[in-house]
A and B are shown apart, each in its own frame.
Chain A
Amino acid sequence: MQTLYDKLWNQHVVHIESDDPSSMALIYIDRHLVHEVTSPQAFESLKLAGRKPWRLNSILAVADHNVPTTDRSQGIHDPISRLQVDTLDQNCDELGITEFKMNDLRQGIVHVIGPEQGATLPGMTVVCGDSHTSTHGAFGCLAFGIGTSEVEHVLATQCLLMKKSKSMRISVEGRLGLGVAAKDIALAIIGEIGTAGGTGYAIEFSGNAIRALSMEGRMTLCNMAIEAGARAGMVAVDDTTIDYIKGRPFAPQGELWDRAAAYWRTLHSDDGAVFDRTVSLDAAHIKPQVTWGTSPEMVTTIDSVVPDPALENDDVKRHDMQQALNYMGLQANTPIAQISIDKVFIGSCTNSRIEDLRAAAQVAKGKHIAANIKLALVVPGSGLVKKQAEQEGLDRVFRAAGFEWREPGCSMCLAMNDDRLLPGERCASTSNRNFEGRQGPGGRTHLVSPAMAAAAAIAGHFVDVRKLDT
């Protein structure tokens, strides 16, 4: 009896040093996604060593981190960002790698476009020089982030040297309440197991609350597996998975489709498969989540208050909490719903897909952002998401409500382009990291779901989406 992770692992072992399952194995990589920030040094070393990419058609490249989200007809004005994007273009052109260039309609955040194109398929190993590669695990594949030396290793050999992780099952049973989203499940899990809780594990999310999620929701959840410390998160294949993939440009068709789909249906943990650790959550008890500190585990519920470090017994933890509150400019015991905000960011590989934009638009519809909101940004995950949203009229809903509607990219998730917080500014963000300075030096990030972010923009402070009369 095998777990999904066992099946995926076993399918890809090219070579293993010894019979000991914990020894180093050479793992075959089916899909290699590449972006501009973590690849230039890998391409350079590859060239210096006189090597060539092993299998070009396994690679899909896109620039996302540095691209402007405003008018792109003028190119990128920051010369350093421009050089990085140009370097990717050059490397891809020179080697013959498929790349969606900045003005291609298909351009977008690497973790949005892989699935959108059908370049991410069940049963694959998917890697990218980016920790949120865990996102792709939503499709029943083994997907994880790698460093630049590993990017080079995969380019040169189509393989990676790695040790098998331990396995964890996180099962979420029951029905989510109205207004509670996949993002809230993710944050609730991190609140439960901590940001290091998944270290050394590959996590499988299961249970009927997970099966009830759309692919977008599953991607949000797997995206945040890395914030729980796990390199990989995954969800078993079911009809939802297969329906999503059907007809996408890189997906198989015709007779191959039938063969593929039949195989994909075997990609689930067998009944009775044993996990190294199991965690259970009751979906009905999950409330909208808001982070209050500088780590995703510093999270609480909308109806709660900022925790008091004085009540923490562990010295290191207390000290970290105090430091986080100082950075965030928050007082212990302040009700979360009384925290007012300056900016709102709806986007990132966590929450920039069509369903996320729909959820936010539903809250914003017919309303207007509060007077104290200096900027509310909506940044679709890809050109295709943007187009779809425009066809549905979501852009008009957002614009009428005072939001800015932007071009796709990472944007204020990590503020490598011009979109950023100023020191001291407080942001309700649908991204995945609230680290110090993540959205701009001195910026203060609160992680929330898309509906919660939109609701905060309208109210000017955090509010419980469950209590809105939309």
Chain B
Amino acid sequence: MEKFDTFTGLVAPMDRANVDTDAIIPKQFLKSIKRSGFGQNLFDEWRYWDHGEPGMDAAQRQPNPDFVLNQPRYRGVQILLARANFGCGSSREHAPWALQDYGFRVIIAPSFADIFFNNCFKIGLLPIILDTSALDRLFDAAKSTEGYRLTVDLQQQTVTTPYNESFTFEIDTFRKHCLLNGLDEVGLTLQHAEKIKQFEINRHNEQPWLF
């Protein structure tokens, strides 16, 4: 996993609540057995007029010019502002993969669905929770100011506006540590291999029907 450090990125607003993972990446694209290439179908049904199927050439598609990410001002976007319960629905990690592949590194919302939130950390996409009033202000600023950028500092746990206004966010220390250092969680867990084996032996003795 890539290390996450401080960066400043262009911001786009996605002004709707309960954006589900079916909307983030529709199911026909889940048939892929790869981890990459989902970015071109991110928000496919909102983003294009025509119906998307795997293997289509994006250049031949009909983009919906009204969809927020299709507006030229958001080209190169890295930070998504979202509303409550972002990422609800299925457990598909394809949703964070698609967001990351499109170029997003941070999603800021007042709340996220649990599994989506969890999945983001596994790939180094940072979901940040800010309160609704902070988000309302960021939404206003991002909509009214072309080229609006925010700076995210993971070490300091802050989101900073171009006017140097800062919002602090919470993050679990373990997750922060993994992101900052780009650590492989499987490798970390395997450091406890002996403990896992011992646990398994005890469990086998107590509840042999499980094995």
Q: Say whether B91 contacts A131, CB under 8 Å.
A: yes
Q: Say whether A28 contacts B203, CB under 8 Å.
A: yes
Q: Say whether A147 contacts B172, CB under 8 Å.
A: no
Q: Say whether A260 contacts B207, CB under 8 Å.
A: yes
A234 to chain B minimum Cβ distance, whole angstroms, is 15
Choose the segment among A2-10, A284-292, A430-438 that binds chain B (4+ C-beta atoms closer than 8 Å): A430-438
Quick check: is A334 within 8 A (CB to CB) of the other chain?
no
Choose the segment among B58-66, B107-115, B141-149 that binds chain A (4+ C-beta atoms closer than 8 Å): B107-115
Quick check: is B90 within 8 A (CB to CB) of the other chain?
yes
B140 to chain A minimum Cβ distance, whole angstroms, is 13
Interchain CA distance A150-B211 in the complex, whole Å: 22
Q: B199 contacts which chain A residues (CB < 8 A)? A: 14, 28
Q: Say whether A316 contacts B33, CB under 8 Å.
A: no
With contacts A157-B196, A199-B85, A416-B31 known, is A231 near B210, CB below 8 A?
A: no
Interchain CA distance A319-B96 in the complex, whole Å: 26
B98 to chain A minimum Cβ distance, whole angstroms, is 13
With contacts A84-B33, A149-B93, A416-B28 known, is A323 near B16, CB below 8 A?
A: yes
Quick check: is B77 within 8 A (CB to CB) of the other chain?
no
With contacts A51-B186, A131-B91, A195-B88 known, is A150 near B20, CB below 8 A?
A: no
Quick check: is B5 within 8 A (CB to CB) of the other chain?
no
Choose the segment among B6-14, B68-76, B118-126, B157-165 that binds chain A (4+ C-beta atoms closer than 8 Å): B118-126
Shortest Cβ distance from B116 into A: residue: A147
Quick check: is A123 within 8 A (CB to CB) of the other chain?
yes
Interchain CA distance A57-B22 in the complex, whole Å: 32
Quick check: is B3 within 8 A (CB to CB) of the other chain?
no
Which residues of chain B in 188-211 are interfacial with respect to chain A, using CB atoms and an 8 Å cutoff?
Answer: 189-190, 192-193, 195-196, 199-200, 203, 207-211
Q: A121 contacts which chain B residues (CB < 8 A)? A: 209-210
Quick check: is A81 within 8 A (CB to CB) of the other chain?
yes
Q: B83 contacts which chain A residues (CB < 8 A)? A: 316
Interchain CA distance A158-B196 in the complex, whole Å: 8
Q: B113 contacts which chain A residues (CB < 8 A)? A: 196, 199, 229
Q: A242 contacts which chain B residues (CB < 8 A)? A: none
Q: A66 contacts which chain B residues (CB < 8 A)? A: 31
Quick check: is B40 within 8 A (CB to CB) of the other chain?
no
B contact set with A: CB distance below 8 Å: 16-18, 20, 22-23, 26-28, 30-35, 45, 51, 54-55, 83-85, 88-94, 96, 111-115, 118-119, 122-123, 172, 174-175, 185-186, 189-190, 192-193, 195-196, 199-200, 203, 207-211
A contact set with B: CB distance below 8 Å: 14-15, 17, 23-24, 26, 28, 30, 37-38, 40-41, 44-45, 49, 51, 54-55, 57, 65-66, 78, 80-81, 83-84, 87, 121, 123-124, 129-131, 133, 144-150, 152-153, 156-159, 161-163, 165, 195-196, 199-200, 229-231, 251-252, 256-257, 259-260, 263, 295, 316-317, 319-320, 323, 414-416, 433, 435-438, 441
